[in-house]
Amino acid sequence: MTTKLRREMDNAMVLRGFSPRTRECYLACVAALAQHYGQSPDGLDVAQIQAYLLHLIGERKLAYASVNQAVCSGTRSWRSRSRWRSFPSGCRKSCRASRSST
């Protein structure tokens, strides 16, 4: 099932020239976030997103690169929303840097 948010996010990445694999990876990260909380990422606040990232680092023991993918994918879905301005410090910069290297 494809949600409206997923379609909007994928369309935005297509327009920005993201590769199919990057789009697939980012969409999977956002789907994992939604599954973790059992709700659409649209309804999550910054504290919940930060808690999820800490869960990935502390409990799942994921590498920085994997967590950075989750951060970057999250910024894709919040770019046009006011939450973008309060997303965890440094995320926008690291996402831009990883995107420019792909």
- The predicted-structure confidence for 22-74, as pLDDT tens digits, reads as follows 899 888 888 898 899 999 888 888 889 889 989 999 999 989 888 888 887 76
The CA–CA distances, whole Å, from 102 to 23, 27, 30, 74, 78 equal 12, 17, 20, 18, 21
Domain limits of the chain? 4-100
Mean pLDDT, rounded, of the chain: 76
Indicate the pTM of the whole model: 0.70
Cβ–Cβ < 8 Å for 81, 46: no
Classify 4-100 by CATH class. Answer: mainly alpha
